[in-house]
């Protein structure tokens, strides 16, 4: 019997490929700060058991079990779904230093209960938004008393195709690095149907790096790219690399939670 996710995917592919032009399936690039592009390299991300990009690679990783709680309020047509998952990893660059990440992610949604269409395929409603809350602690070697905290709160109406970022920053209590959502749409242009999606990292008026977690089009989930300024000191580059790896893992977790 076809699962709910298989049914959804089949509908997306059957309808989406007919509705979207060829450009919607092509990979796109983020509209980033020109200064960042001139002073960084685009590092393609290899995701699998352990994430790797450029000189940075996870040397160990662990993903905890996915806890799902569903409640069905009486006399209401929707069900409430809550998922919780923890993950951790250690990432290392070319030098001896490492960064350790401990993260917890919560995803919540309210969905209309499933119904059966004329083809006897059970499908669910995808209109209601999902809310993802990621909190991570990042500890660099030798900084036991000054851990960094990553906060990323996102509202979405598909796993990644339409997202609204509620809060996104990295702080150690003294410094704050802001993560601004960025797409492949040029500034001032009307939003495209399936743009590339990512975050641009900045402190003050200086852009430090960026991560693309969705490459645009229908099949953009596996087109991830990292940008890190070449002139950053090694520990800051490692911190940003760890943060970006955590974000990429949270997006992958969200994909699974939507299935």
The per-residue pLDDT for range 106-142, each reduced to its tens digit, is 998 766 555 444 444 444 444 567 889 999 999 999 8
Is 65 strand, coil or helix?
Answer: coil
Q: Is the pTM of this model over 0.75?
A: yes
Question: Using CA atoms, how far apart are residues 258 and 163, in angstroms rounded to an integer?
Answer: 14
Residue 34 contacts residue 207 (beta carbons within 8 Å): no
Longest dimension (CA), the chain: 62
Q: Would the pLDDT of 229 be above 90? A: yes
Of the candidates 67, 157, 52, 140, the residue with the CA atom closest to the CA atom of residue 98: 140
Residue 138 lies in domain:
4-258
What is the average pLDDT across 5-31?
Answer: 47
Domain count across the chain: 1
Helices (H), 20-63: 34-38
- Taken in order 10, 106, 49, 151, the sign of the CA dihedral is positive
pLDDT computed for residue 135 by the predictor? 98
pLDDT in tens, 132-171: 999 999 999 988 888 999 999 998 876 556 788 899 999 9
pLDDT computed for residue 120 by the predictor? 44
What is the average pLDDT across 176-194?
Answer: 90
Residue 22 to residues 17, 18, 158, 179, 194, Cα–Cα distance (Å): 9, 10, 21, 31, 12
Cα angle 218-240-64, degrees, rounded to a multiple of 5? 70
């Amino acid at each position: 019997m076809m699962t709910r996710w298989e049914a959804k995917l089949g509908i997306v592919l059957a309808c989406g490929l007919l509705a979207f032009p060829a450009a919607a399936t092509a990979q796109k690039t983020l509209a980033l700060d020109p200064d960042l592009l001139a002073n960084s390299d685009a590092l393609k991300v290899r995701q699998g058991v352990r994430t790797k990009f450029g000189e940075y690679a996870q040397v160990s990783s662990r993903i905890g079990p996915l806890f799902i709680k569903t409640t069905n309020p009486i006399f209401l047509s929707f069900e409430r779904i809550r998922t919780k998952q923890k993950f951790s990893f250690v990432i290392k660059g070319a030098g001896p230093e490492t960064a350790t990440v401990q993260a917890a992610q919560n995803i919540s949604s309210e969905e209309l209960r499933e119904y059966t269409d004329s083809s006897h395929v059970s499908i669910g409603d995808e209109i209601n938004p999902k809310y993802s809350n990621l909190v991570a602690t990042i500890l660099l070697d030798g900084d036991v008393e000054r851990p960094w905290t990553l906060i990323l709160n996102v509202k979405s109406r598909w796993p990644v195709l339409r997202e609204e970022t509620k809060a996104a920053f990295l702080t150690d209590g003294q410094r704050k690095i802001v993560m601004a959502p960025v797409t492949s749409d040029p500034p001032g242009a009307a939003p495209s149907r399936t743009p590339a999606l990512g975050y641009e990292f900045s402190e003050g008026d200086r852009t430090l790096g960026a991560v693309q977690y969705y490459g645009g089009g229908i099949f953009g989930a596996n087109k991830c790219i990292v940008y890190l300024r070449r002139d950053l000191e090694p520990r800051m580059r490692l911190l940003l690399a760890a943060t970006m790896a955590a974000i990429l893992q949270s997006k992958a977790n969200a994909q699974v939670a939507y299935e």
